[in-house]
Chain A
């Protein structure tokens, strides 16, 4: 057997997610298929069927029931995993808000896929952004390795007594979900030492021990109390992430921070990105530097809680920043952009210019040349609109299709 194989294996992003769940010793998976996520639950169902995993895998009737089942099972004190994407996660949105409010820990994976209409299978981030305010912790993965590691770390964060909130791990459909790259699969024993079996610190549902988790409250004050508690716990998750990442690095040698700085320290222009396209951004940064442009990239690995201070510290002193949103809130622009601006607003050494860029929608590539266009726009434009990455090639492609579509 080749020595490389003992350490790493070629895995898709989806398989890496399934491996993360497997190493976490998950006990219950409510599932519903959707492209490009299906490979995750297919893999898990195989492992439950052949005895690799002990527990219960249930095919649900919809994502709405699926997320409710995930929350309900987590409330009994078992370790739960589930996954969805796009229209599926939207269909489950009501349940996601509900179970996040229950303050029960579990991990879900979202495989990003753009939303209808028009419908597509290809990726962008409007689906995960729709879950932005649900009260989840969100970790966004750039590589297949990060997918596996974030799922494993996700349980540790979700189950931390000061957090007790579901964690969502995001990866891009197709570009990461179906891409294979070498992934280090942690040793089972080491994974178990890092993440021992789930021991809930809060009361859990037990037979013949009645309790309730979802009381109705009126008058607003009590409601506000619970909501503020949710906010405080979510904010606490950044500290817990950092503690977890430290332990993870000690055990497995891979270091994670809420934000990753790539050539940021001396950069005059910084691109803010997340997920798998950050890889393309890093390549563009290196090429721009060869052309004499001091570029850098700030990758958001954690999106909820929003690591505002870490972002502000990383961007302090940098003159120009471009926030590349692979999502679009019509009538507003990129969704992450205002969050970055907010993080910088009260800083003395904030950037002179923060540009909103909207690109990579519905599977559209972000080309390396686009990064140079962004730099040019940062240098000369006063436009109040976002810079949309839409080029002449896209226009001619659209025109060809329109000719076929219209009488």
Chain B
């Protein structure tokens, strides 16, 4: 059994990547299973998806806590304690990170259990699809290639099947297939050892005592505790106010759905970047176009 866990953000096509791998493995004659995990989050929020590939019937369901292959589609997640993408991986886990950075530096900076395989998928996506946001085909192709179990032919067919479901055909499909060929050629299969089955050991079950109702019922007495949930790194795009041009009309302040634009004592709007999710409604609403849309990532490319 090969267990693949893919991390990324809502909108990046992480679920689709897991499905491309699932279908490709299935076409290559394996049993496969794929499963995304998300709740009420939206674009930019950390997302995780799983793919299991096996020659035998798969007797597992739900999340993968100990992955054999870990695919990180967005390297900014490495710094997110809530996403904790490395969690559960060990020295046997093969790490893949969509990054331009030196693998040694990544390993040192993020205390990775092994030297990661890297490839700058975002740049390739920009090159082939003119979109650095959607990484489904690139990440799916990278994962499929690294397993060494899936042929290019089956992978291409899988991408056609999965993109067809989304109504992607014609030139956009061809561009995706070219991207797959490029990623497939850029990476080499890695050796993924089959994990030895560990013997079962009893769980540390607890006997709960009855508590008083204030501790027993779901009651929240703390106010303003939402600020503890930092959502700033959900941003793909970053709004930046041009204060030379801004006339403090307060429209951005009124329109921000997250309430993260405040008016400072001088009457200027100030964006709380710890919590701004980058929806860019402020930039859309600003009547003077004084709010610029920048990429959060290192790329010095203005979005189309």
> Given A282-B59, A368-B200, are A174 and B27 neighbors across the interface (CB < 8 Å)?
no
Q: Is A251 an interface residue (CB 8 A)?
A: no
State the CA gap A373–B63 with chains docked (Å): 21
Chain A residues whose C-beta falls within 8 Å of the C-beta of B225 in the assembled complex: 404-405
List CB contacts (< 8 Å) of A112-170 with chain B: 117-118, 121
Query: Taking A178-B36, A180-B22 as contacts, is the C-beta distance between A286 and B59 under 8 angstroms?
Result: yes
Q: For chain B, which range describes its interface: under 10, 10 to 19, 20 to 34, or 35 or more residues? A: 35 or more
Does A181 reach chain B (CB closer than 8 Å)?
A: yes
Residues from chain B with a CB closer than 8 A to the CB of A121 are 39-40
**CB neighbours of A276 from chain B (8 A):** 61
Evaluate contact between A389 and B32: CB separation under 8 angstroms.
no
Q: Is B176 an interface residue (CB 8 A)?
A: no
Tier of interface size on chain A: 35 or more
Residues in chain A near residue B161, CB distance under 8 A? 5
Question: If the complex has contacts A178-B35, A179-B33, are A391 and B19 also in contact, measured as CB distance less than 8 A?
Answer: no
A284→B200 CA distance, assembly (Å): 8
Q: How far is the CA of A387 from the CA of B207 in the complex (A)?
A: 9
Give a binary string over A364-380; 1 marks a CB under 8 Å from any B CB, 0 the rest: 01011111110010000
- CA separation between A181 and B60, bound complex, in Å? 12
Q: Does A291 contact B (CB under 8 A)?
A: yes
Min CB gap B144→A, angstroms: 14
Interface presence of A355 (CB below 8 A): no
In the complex, B76 has a CB within 8 A of chain A: no
Cβ contact within 8 Å between A370 and B203:
yes
CB pair B34–A405 under 8 Å, yes or no, is no
Contact A404 B228 (CB under 8 A): yes
Q: Are B58 and A373 in contact (CB under 8 A)?
A: no
A279 & B201 in contact (Cβ 8 Å cutoff): no
- For the complex, is B205 an interface residue (Cβ under 8 Å from A)? yes
A200 interfacial contact with B, CB 8 Å:
no
Q: Which of B114-122, B213-221, B248-256 contacts A (4 or more CB under 8 A)?
A: B213-221
Q: Does B34 lie within 8 Å of A10, measured CB to CB?
A: yes
Q: Are A392 and B204 CB-contacts (below 8 A) given A2-B27, A404-B228, A406-B222?
A: yes
Partner of A181, one of B27, B58, B202, B223: B58
**8 A Cβ contacts from A356-407 to B:** 365, 367-373, 376, 387-395, 402, 404-407
Question: Which 7 A-B residue pairings sit nearest by Cβ, starting from the closest?
Answer: A283-B59, A179-B35, A372-B200, A118-B218, A392-B204, A373-B202, A405-B220
| Known contacts A1-B157, A182-B31, A404-B225; 8 further A-B pairs (Cβ under 8 A) | A5-B161, A176-B61, A179-B61, A287-B200, A387-B205, A405-B219, A405-B225, A406-B219
